[in-house]
């Protein structure tokens, strides 16, 4: 019997590269074209049919996430939970923070500042996941900035290195990670890296060593909207490639209803 799959969106951190924009709100609540950034990872998880989603947030802006998303999807039988991560300890820490939420189920984590053009294909891959681990690699021009996957002549992943000086390929690991429930146990056993964080790359290496890691190559735009330039580029790409039209109907309906509710409340205040 297939296990249920749950979703996590990591939306914590301080986003100092986007100061002063993030002095008053979370990076993941900044607009990317016509929607807040958080809706892009939500779109992938909802398209994958995931009904239970944990959003990990920083303490300073947790109330803003609740104001926007608190009950927006409840009528569609999609339940959102929120957990505060007081101190960022690395991407792998999300699985420790979400241990009780994950329980014995599979889990798909999407980084809250990552935007993908081909959300439908990604959702299908997540939906088909059974066990082990699955990550997504994208060819880039500056591989020394990322976690890099090396493939053999048959296209099978054989190594992963974090920000290598001499990259063995141009395929980097993007911000979607799918694992079985063993990920919690693996994350707990990790030692912090040189920058004092537990690294998701080490989780991937562990699954690869166990021969349980699938690496899917993806095409289409992939954007990490963590700087002024990449945030601006993300909005332009979303418009140019019409990514804003590729949202699940549930998200479009929920946002429309939320907007109508806000407008009604605004009119009442004016009376």
- Sorted by where each begins, the domain ranges of the chain are 5-132+176-192+206-270
Residue pair 10/38 in contact (Cβ under 8 Å)? The answer is: no
Report whether CATH 3.40.50.2300 matches the domain 5-132+176-192+206-270: no
Task: Tell me if the pTM is above 0.75.
Answer: yes
- 32: nearest Cα among 51, 18, 46: 18
Q: Residue 217 forms beta bridges with which residues?
A: 137
In this prediction, residue 13 carries a pLDDT of: 82
**Per-residue pLDDT of the chain in tens (271 residues, 90 and over written 9):** 568 999 999 998 877 889 999 999 999 999 999 999 999 999 999 999 999 999 999 999 999 999 999 989 999 999 999 999 988 899 999 999 999 999 999 999 999 999 999 999 999 999 999 999 999 999 999 999 999 999 999 999 999 999 999 999 999 999 999 999 999 999 999 999 988 899 999 999 999 999 999 999 999 999 988 899 999 999 999 999 999 999 999 999 999 999 999 888 888 777 6
Question: In whole angstroms, what is the distance from residue 21 CA to residue 232 CA?
Answer: 13
> What integer pLDDT is reported at residue 1 of this predicted model?
58
pLDDT of residue 38: 97
Instruction: Determine what percent of the chain falls in helix, strand and coil, rounding each to the nearest 5.
Output: 40, 25, 35
């Amino acid at each position: 019997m297939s296990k249920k799959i749950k979703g996590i969106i990591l939306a914590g951190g301080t986003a100092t590269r986007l100061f002063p924009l993030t002095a008053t709100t979370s990076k993941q609540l900044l607009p990317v074209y016509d929607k807040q950034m958080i809706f892009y990872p939500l779109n992938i998880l909802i398209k994958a049919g995931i009904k239970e989603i944990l959003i990990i947030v920083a303490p300073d802006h947790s109330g803003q996430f609740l104001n926007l998303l608190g009950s927006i999807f409840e009528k569609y039988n999609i339940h959102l939970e929120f957990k505060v991560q007081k101190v960022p300890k690395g991407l792998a820490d999300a699985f420790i923070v979400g241990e009780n939420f994950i329980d014995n189920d599979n889990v798909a984590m999407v980084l809250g500042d990552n935007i993908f053009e081909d959300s439908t294909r990604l959702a299908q891959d997540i939906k088909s996941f059974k066990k082990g681990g699955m990550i997504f690699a994208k060819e880039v021009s500056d591989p020394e900035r990322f976690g890099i996957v090396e493939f053999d002549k048959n296209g099978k992943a054989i190594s992963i290195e974090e920000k290598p000086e001499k990259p063995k390929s141009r395929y980097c690991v993007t911000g979607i990670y799918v694992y079985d429930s063993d990920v919690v146990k693996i994350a707990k056993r990790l030692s912090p890296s040189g920058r004092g964080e537990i690294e998701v790359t080490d989780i991937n290496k562990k699954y690869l060593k166990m021969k349980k890691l699938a690496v899917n190559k993806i095409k289409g735009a992939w954007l990490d909207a963590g700087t002024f330039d990449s945030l601006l580029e993300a909005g332009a790409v979303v418009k140019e490639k019409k990514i804003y039209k590729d949202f699940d109907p549930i998200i479009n309906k929920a946002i429309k209803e939320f907007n109508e509710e806000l407008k009604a409340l605004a009119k009442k205040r004016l009376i």
